[in-house]
């Protein structure tokens, strides 16, 4: 991804700051606070900016981390270093508990849900006897190494910033990996990711835990910096402020979290110390100004400040082309490759009273291109969704190589070697073409989140990217490999979807209107590609409206009208079939 | 358990629940039309309540000046947006709604505040002032963001909440206030005593629920609002002024908020920051109602009120914990029942 140099420079700079002669001690305190806020914001960047899950409850996780170490180090006399893993464990496991409930919520339920339990937990902190109620817990021992006690803000400074920089590195490593791509795909809805085997609830839970552990780490540091905890900094207001920090910095960027923390912490300090001088005698003026600035910032720079700053830097040169010589093992094939691959038998789908697919039966043989055609609303895309497990059939059966799959979720269908594209393109626009296509190979990689963070996944990752690059070259988009998917024309985006589907190493490829938006030459190239794939042993089932394209390409055609199959046969017989002509042109034809 | 105590608790819960129901309805309304999760709803409550209480006590409320200030801001926004195609009618209309109207209200407020006006005048002035604040807030803070994501709107809403709460402290001070009862008198039925105030609360809540139902079901404006909620672009293409829909939603929400405040301030002392918690309990009800269903929200609000009443009796320390944790099982149920719907975000 990015080179390590700027990070090393940043780390050295931060290490040097306390040695600047004449540095006011108060500035070090501010930097400590910035680091603490940055840790939480970084988690939120992953959760909200990248994963699309808005949480107002992060302050509660900071509280879990802080209270865990406070209780264990005061009441039980444990060393702070021993409580560190325990603090993280408590935040992490409570995140699992809350996350299991929360992450499945869609859209706006999620932020509201987090707001509600954030508040509930805040009141719990302030009422529980063993947490010291509203007074909290004081006399927490400082961090110490041997006889060296980190009593001053200047001494714990290094602990905080080592934590910040390490967390940033681990987080960026995570994002730049197989798991990271799955996380980055979350924000664009789950259908596309699931079609390639991503278990979206699990991916969401993962980012939730990651964010909570970072918050817990911040809480642990906070407790040993202040050496006292009380409920106030873990309330709803704090939760809102953390989110604000992430948005100010730029919610999609790890360093945006750090930048946002710096801006907000300094700004609050300035407002608190100077506003009373300008407007004396008025209570909460800084809150008013803070609120107004928040709204103004959203109206002026809704994307946050980090991307705005980055736009001043020279454009990043296009990324390195992956080494395409690395081979990814092909998917284990089910036996019985010859004969019927896919059998749809009396499949029926009803939405309330509407019968979208009415007892449709057809089959796809090995090494065959079958086209599914019909007027708009004939039930073609619904049939696709039934086959790929996005929808489940009301009745009838669908089997792959003789195995029934009616109730299987999309993640299972793709494991059988059926991959698809979508009628409405579902790519992640702010990821490169290469990264988008690599999602297709998700199931063929093995590295988990922990090995990704520690960069133990590089061999696996190189193979995945190599496969993705190979498929991109195969569909003829090698030049666009490092462009953002959102910057491509719609026709090219459809082709990218095909490359992504090919990364599955499928035996059956389902294409939903692949030729829509393509120019004549591009259509011809696509037809050639599909013929090559068939000759290489793959089967293709496609929905398409371009009759010229279909008639020249398909071995067999299935015609649907109002959810019912009205004809099936070779292109030649379909062309002259009176039923088909009637369906397309009306009775008089 | 003692039946009388139980009845008392249920009665108390229903009175509170009715207020939460009103707030929940307003939240659902605003969310459905503008996608804004209206955190400042609580401030509408406190502004309404404390404006009413200040007026009744013969003090000049700062909210009237705020309304004029926001109106000037809204006027400036209108002019800026229309700077390429300014024409007389537009300017005059904007001038009247954004500056002349709040100026008149401010003058009336100054006039009446000096002479301890009757309850009806206090109510009317408080409602108008808060309604204008709601309207101008939409123009200034939310209309320019109308096209952005729910998240951005939500954070803007938090910003507005912070600013309004800070202003509330400035206007009303840290002291709590109570206002005079809207309807005095009381009668007893069995062991229960019904005050005129609680009867007013019930009546107004029911009136609003029925009113909203009729408004959305039968009137053209109501239908336009629903259309905006479903599909902004489609509604615009059909000739609905979506900004007008947003304005109506905010107007209704602020009136409902202010009214709720006026109804509770005779019963409980309100502080400048009480609104947040009251509003959040309306939220709990609204979430239970799925942010779409008005009847479900109303029922949920009553449940929230009753749970709150009982938990404040049996475990007063954990009252808030219990109310907010009530959401968890609801969310759990929703998670299990919610069908996996594909959303296109951003």
**What pLDDT score was predicted for residue A207?**
92
Q: Which structural domain, as residue segments, surrounds residue A401?
A: 340-417+506-585
The answer to whether A391 contacts chain B (CB < 8 Å) is no
Distance from CA of A366 to the nearest CA of B (A): 32
Instruction: Tell me how many domains chain B contains.
Output: 1
How far, CA to CA in Å, does B161 sit from each of A124, A454, B25, B29, B43? 24, 42, 19, 18, 7
Is A112's CB within 8 Å of B287's CB?
yes
- Rg for chain A, CA atoms, rounded: 28
Helix (H) / strand (E) element for A204: namely helix A200-226
What does the alpha-carbon distance between residue B285 and residue B26 come to, in Å, rounded to a whole number?
A: 11
Q: Which residues of A touch B158 (CB under 8 A)?
A: 240, 243-244, 291, 294
In the DSSP assignment, the letter for residue B270 is B
- CATH number of the domain residue A407 falls in: 3.40.50.300
Q: Which residues of A touch B154 (CB under 8 A)?
A: 54, 108, 111
Distance from CA of B345 to the nearest CA of A (A): 6
Helix (H) / strand (E) element for A92: namely helix A80-102
For residue B103, count CB atoms less than 10 angstroms from its CB and return exposed for 0-12, middle for 13-18, buried for 19 or more: middle
Q: Considering only the beta carbons, identify the residue of A54, A120, A283 that sits closest to B324.
A: A120
How far, CA to CA in Å, does B309 sit from each of A181, A431, B23, B58, B112? 48, 51, 18, 33, 38
Helix (H) / strand (E) element for A420: namely strand A418-420
The answer to whether A300 contacts chain B (CB < 8 Å) is no
In the DSSP assignment, the letter for residue A444 is G
**What pLDDT score was predicted for residue A279?**
65
Distance from CA of B344 to the nearest CA of A (A): 6
The rounded Cα A554 to chain-centroid distance in angstroms is 37
What does the alpha-carbon distance between residue A159 and residue A163 come to, in Å, rounded to a whole number?
A: 6
What does the alpha-carbon distance between residue A75 and residue A129 come to, in Å, rounded to a whole number?
A: 13
Residue A500 lies in a domain: no
Q: Are residues A222 and A347 in the same domain?
A: no
**What pLDDT score was predicted for residue A588?**
54
For β-strands A369-373 and A539-543, DSSP reports them as parallel
pLDDT digits (tens, 9 = 90+) for A341-398: 888 889 888 888 888 888 889 989 888 999 998 888 888 888 988 998 888 888 888 9
The answer to whether A107 contacts chain B (CB < 8 Å) is yes
Q: Considering only the beta carbons, identify the residue of A52, A120, A243 that sits closest to B345.
A: A52
For residue B233, count CB atoms less than 10 angstroms from its CB and return exposed for 0-12, middle for 13-18, buried for 19 or more: exposed
Q: Which residue of A has its CA nearest to B316?
A: A127
Distance from CA of A391 to the nearest CA of B (A): 10
The answer to whether A298 contacts chain B (CB < 8 Å) is yes
Q: Which residues of B touch A189 (CB under 8 A)?
A: 342-345
Q: What are phi and psi of A260, to 5 degrees?
A: -60, -40
Q: Considering only the beta carbons, identify the residue of B324, B338, B346 that sits closest to A117.
A: B324
Q: Considering only the beta carbons, identify the residue of B154, B287, B324 that sits closest to A109.
A: B287
Is B162's CB within 8 Å of A287's CB?
yes
For β-strands A228-229 and A137-138, DSSP reports them as antiparallel
B 275-304 → A contacts, CB under 8 A: 280, 283-284, 287, 291
How far, CA to CA in Å, does A161 sit from each of A16, A80, A157, A506? 12, 17, 6, 47
**What pLDDT score was predicted for residue B344?**
39
Q: Which residues fall within 8 angstroms of residue A89, CB to CB, at 6 or more apart? A: none
What does the alpha-carbon distance between residue B136 and residue B141 come to, in Å, rounded to a whole number?
A: 8
Residue B160 lies in a domain: yes
The parts of chain A modelled with pLDDT lower than 50 are: 1, 589
The answer to whether residues B48 and B41 touch, using CB atoms and an 8 Å cutoff, is no
The answer to whether A287 contacts chain B (CB < 8 Å) is yes
Instruction: Tell me how many domains chain A contains.
Output: 2
**What pLDDT score was predicted for residue A106?**
63
The answer to whether residues A401 and A336 touch, using CB atoms and an 8 Å cutoff, is yes
Domain-terminating residue out of A235, A259, A293: A235
Q: Single out the residue of A9, A337, A71, A37 nearest to residue A228, CA to CA.
A: A71
The answer to whether residues A389 and A405 touch, using CB atoms and an 8 Å cutoff, is yes
How far, CA to CA in Å, does A210 sit from each of A44, A51, A171, A400? 9, 12, 9, 38
How is residue B234 written in tokens?
A: 């489609």
Q: What is the ipTM of this complex?
A: 0.83
Q: What are phi and psi of A370, to 5 degrees?
A: -115, 135
**What pLDDT score was predicted for residue A87?**
92
B 218-237 → A contacts, CB under 8 A: none
For residue A4, count CB atoms less than 10 angstroms from its CB and return exposed for 0-12, middle for 13-18, buried for 19 or more: exposed
**What pLDDT score was predicted for residue A3?**
64
What count of CB pairs under 8 Å joins A to B?
154
pLDDT digits (tens, 9 = 90+) for B207-229: 888 888 888 888 888 888 877 77
How is residue A92 written in tokens?
A: 């992490």
Q: Which residues of B touch A127 (CB under 8 A)?
A: 317-318, 321
Q: Which residues fall within 8 angstroms of residue A313, CB to CB, at 6 or more apart? A: none
Q: Are residues A347 and A219 in the same domain?
A: no
Sign of the CA dihedral running A218, A219, A223, A224? negative
Is B342's CB within 8 Å of A299's CB?
no
How is residue B157 written in tokens?
A: 């809403």
Residues in chain B: 346
Residue A242 lies in a domain: no
**What pLDDT score was predicted for residue B120?**
87
Domain-terminating residue out of A168, A201, A235: A235
In the DSSP assignment, the letter for residue A508 is E
Residue A284 lies in a domain: no
> Between helices A178-186 and A458-474, what is the axis angle to 10°?
60
What does the alpha-carbon distance between residue A372 and residue A421 come to, in Å, rounded to a whole number?
A: 14
Domain-terminating residue out of A235, A258, A278: A235
Best mutation site among A116, A260, A422 for testing chain B: the one with the most B CBs within 10 Å? A116
Residue B342 lies in a domain: no
**What pLDDT score was predicted for residue B139?**
92
Q: Which residue of B has its CA nearest to A430?
A: B346
Is A291's CB within 8 Å of B325's CB?
no
Residue B344 lies in a domain: no
Residue B345 lies in a domain: no
Best mutation site among B69, B163, B330, B341 for testing chain A: the one with the most A CBs within 10 Å? B163
The answer to whether B167 contacts chain A (CB < 8 Å) is yes
Q: Considering only the beta carbons, identify the residue of A119, A190, A290 that sits closest to B162.
A: A290
Bridge partners of A137, per DSSP, are A229
The answer to whether B156 contacts chain A (CB < 8 Å) is yes
For residue A507, count CB atoms less than 10 angstroms from its CB and return exposed for 0-12, middle for 13-18, buried for 19 or more: buried
What does the alpha-carbon distance between residue A273 and residue A287 come to, in Å, rounded to a whole number?
A: 13
H helical segments located in B3-148: 3-34, 41-56, 63-81, 88-95, 101-113, 119-137
B 5-34 → A contacts, CB under 8 A: 31
The parts of chain B modelled with pLDDT lower than 70 are: 1, 190-191, 290-293, 334-346
A 50-69 → B contacts, CB under 8 A: 52, 54
Q: Single out the residue of A172, A225, A157 nearest to residue A15, CA to CA.
A: A157
Q: What are phi and psi of B113, to 5 degrees?
A: -60, -30
Q: Which structural domain, as residue segments, surrounds residue B111?
A: 3-337
What does the alpha-carbon distance between residue A251 and residue A270 come to, in Å, rounded to a whole number?
A: 24
């Amino acid at each position: 991804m990015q080179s390590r140099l700027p990070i090393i420079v940043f780390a050295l700079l931060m290490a040097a700051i306390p040695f600047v002669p004449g540095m006011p001690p108060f500035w070090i305190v501010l930097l400590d606070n910035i680091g603490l806020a940055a840790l939480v914001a970084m988690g939120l960047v992953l959760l909200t900016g990248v994963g699309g899950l808005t949480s107002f409850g992060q302050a509660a996780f900071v509280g879990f981390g802080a209270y865990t170490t406070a209780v264990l180090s005061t009441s039980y006399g444990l060393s702070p270093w021993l409580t560190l893993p325990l603090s993280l464990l408590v935040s992490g496991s409570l995140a699992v508990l809350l996350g299991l409930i929360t992450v499945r919520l869609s859209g706006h339920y999620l932020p509201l849900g987090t707001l509600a339990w954030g508040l509930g937990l805040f009141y719990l902190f302030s009422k529980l006897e063993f947490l010291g109620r509203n007074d909290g817990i004081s006399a927490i021992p400082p961090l110490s190494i041997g006889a060296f006690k980190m009593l001053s803000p200047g001494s714990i400074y290094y602990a905080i910033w080592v934590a910040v920089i390490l967390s940033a590195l681990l987080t960026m490593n995570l994002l730049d990996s197989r798991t990271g791509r799955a996380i980055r795909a979350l924000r664009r809805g789950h259908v596309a990711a699931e079609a390639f085997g991503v278990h979206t609830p699990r991916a969401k839970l993962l980012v939730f835990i990651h964010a909570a552990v970072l918050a817990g780490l911040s809480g642990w540091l906070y407790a040993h910096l202040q050496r006292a905890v009380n409920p106030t900094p873990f309330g709803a207001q704090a939760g809102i402020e953390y989110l604000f920090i992430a948005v100010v910095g730029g919610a999609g960027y790890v360093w945006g979290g750090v930048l946002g923390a710096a801006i907000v912490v300094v700004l609050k300090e300035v407002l608190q110390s100077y506003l009373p001088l300008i407007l004396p005698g008025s209570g909460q003026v800084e809150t008013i100004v803070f609120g107004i600035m928040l709204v103004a910032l959203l109206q002026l720079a809704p994307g946050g400040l980090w991307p705005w700053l980055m736009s001043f830097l020279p454009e990043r040169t296009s990324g390195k082309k992956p080494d395409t010589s690395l081979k990814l093992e092909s998917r284990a094939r089910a036996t019985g490759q010859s004969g019927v691959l896919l059998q749809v038998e009396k499949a029926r789908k009803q939405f309330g009273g509407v019968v979208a697919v009415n007892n449709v039966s057809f089959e796809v043989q090995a090494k065959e291109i079958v086209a599914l055609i019909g007027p708009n609303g004939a039930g073609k895309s619904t049939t696709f969704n039934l086959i790929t497990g996005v929808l489940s059939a009301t009745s009838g059966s669908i089997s792959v190589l003789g195995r029934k799959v009616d109730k299987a979720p999309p993640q299972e269908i793709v494991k059988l070697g059926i991959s698809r594209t979508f009628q409405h393109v579902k790519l992640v626009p702010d990821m490169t073409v290469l990264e988008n296509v690599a999602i297709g190979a998700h199931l063929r990689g093995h590295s988990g989140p922990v090995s990704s963070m520690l960069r133990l996944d590089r061999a696996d990752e190189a193979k995945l990217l190599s496969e993705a690059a190979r498929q991109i070259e195969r569909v003829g988009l090698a030049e666009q490999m490092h462009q953002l998917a959102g910057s491509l024309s719609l026709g090219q985006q459809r082709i990218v979807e095909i490359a992504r589907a090919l990364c599955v190493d499928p035996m059956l490829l389902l294409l939903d209107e692949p030729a829509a938006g393509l120019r004549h030459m591009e259509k011809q190239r696509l037809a050639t590609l599909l013929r090559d794939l068939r000759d290489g042993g793959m089967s293709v089932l496609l929905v398409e409206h371009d009759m010229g394209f279909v008639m020249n390409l398909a071995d067999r055609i299935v015609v649907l009208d109002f959810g019912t199959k009205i004809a099936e046969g070779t292109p030649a017989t379909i062309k002259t079939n009176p039923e088909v002509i009637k369906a397309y042109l009306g009775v008089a034809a | 358990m003692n039946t009388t105590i139980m009845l008392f608790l249920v009665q108390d819960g229903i009175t509170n629940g009715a207020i939460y129901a009103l707030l929940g309805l307003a939240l659902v309304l605003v969310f459905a039309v503008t996608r804004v999760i209206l955190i400042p709803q609580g401030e509408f409550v406190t502004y309404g309540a404390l404006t009413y209480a200040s007026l009744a006590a013969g003090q000049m409320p700062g909210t009237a000046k705020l309304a004029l200030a926001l109106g000037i801001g809204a006027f400036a926004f209108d002019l800026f947006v229309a700077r390429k195609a300014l024409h007389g009618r537009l300017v005059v209309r904007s001038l009247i709604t954004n500056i002349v109207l709040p100026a008149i209200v401010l003058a009336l407020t100054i006039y009446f505040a000096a002479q301890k006006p009757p309850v009806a005048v206090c109510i009317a002035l408080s409602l108008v002032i808060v309604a204008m604040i709601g309207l101008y807030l939409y123009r200034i803070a939310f209309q320019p963001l109308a096209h952005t994501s729910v998240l951005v709107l939500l954070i803007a809403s938090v910003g507005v909440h912070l600013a309004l709460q800070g202003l509330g402290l400035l206007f009303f001070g840290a002291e709590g206030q109570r206002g005079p009862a809207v309807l005095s008198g009381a009668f007893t039925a069995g062991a229960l005593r019904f005050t005129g105030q609680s009867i007013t609360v019930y009546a107004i809540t029911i009136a609003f629920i029925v009113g909203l139902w009729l408004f959305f079901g039968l009137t053209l404006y109501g239908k336009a609002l629903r259309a905006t909620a479903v599909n902004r672009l489609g509604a615009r293409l059909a000739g609905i002024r979506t900004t007008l829909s947003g304005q109506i939603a905010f107007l209704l929400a602020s009136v409902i908020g202010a009214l709720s405040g006026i109804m509770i301030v005779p019963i409980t002392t309100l502080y400048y920051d009480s609104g947040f918690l009251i509003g959040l309990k309306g939220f709990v009800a609204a979430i239970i109602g799925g942010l779409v269903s008005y009847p479900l929200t109303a029922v949920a609000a009553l449940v929230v009120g009753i749970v709150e009443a009982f938990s404040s009796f049996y475990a007063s320390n954990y009252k808030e914990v219990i109310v907010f944790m009530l959401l968890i099982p609801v969310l759990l149920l929703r998670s299990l029942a919610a069908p996996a719907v594909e959303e296109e975000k951003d």
